[in-house]
Amino acid sequence: MDASGGMAARIMYITLLSIAAALTALLLMGTIFGLIRSREAVPLVILGNPGYSQTAHASDDIRVFSGLGRLRIPLANSSTMLLSIAFPYSANDTAFTEELAARIGDFRAMASDYFSSLDAQSVIQIDEDAAKLEILKRFNNSLRLGRIQALYFNDMLVIDAAN
């Protein structure tokens, strides 16, 4: 073997050894980072699932807040409206959950104020989506630690005073 062939082999050996050392160091750093990183941390890279949302991932505990109970709202014409309002929230957000619980009375009053100026016929013909948006806006204006994304009306019933 001549000197140039031995030199090329030595350069190739050093190059391959350097690449192997760099890959080993990279794997070691990634492993250490993975062990140190919190389990609740948002992924740094997402492969293969473009529909993934960083605000709502698999570890979120989404529940339905129904703590307002059934509201009995007196209407303008002496009729009564029965209404239950519910909405989803993240149970993992402890501060926001506590704020929601603390505002139950305020939420009940806001919903009652919205409907109490209407008579039974107006409530029966109301645009439910517009009413939900208005009440949602009122609820969110009073909140400081988070936002409610959607409202659901359950048990929307008008009891006519004439009956």
Torsions phi, psi for 63 (to 5 deg): -125, 170
pLDDT at 45: 67
Mean pLDDT by 10 residues, the chain (163 residues): 78 95 93 83 63 52 90 89 92 91 94 89 88 94 93 87 61
CA geometry: angle at 157 spanning 152 and 159, to 5°? Answer: 155
Contact indicator for 44, 86 with CB cutoff of 8 Å = no
pLDDT at 155: 84
- Quote the distance between the C-alpha of residue 39 and its chain's center: 18
d(CA 121, CA 115): 12
Query: Model's pTM, two decimal places?
Result: 0.61
pLDDT at 54: 47
For the chain, what percent of residues have pLDDT higher than 90?
50
Name every residue whose Cβ is closer than 8 Å to that of residue 136 and which is 6 or more positions away in sequence.
148, 150, 151
pLDDT at 84: 94
Q: Comparing C-alpha atoms, which of 79, 72, 70 is closest to residue 123? A: 79
Domains and CATH numbers, the chain: 62-159 (3.30.479.30)
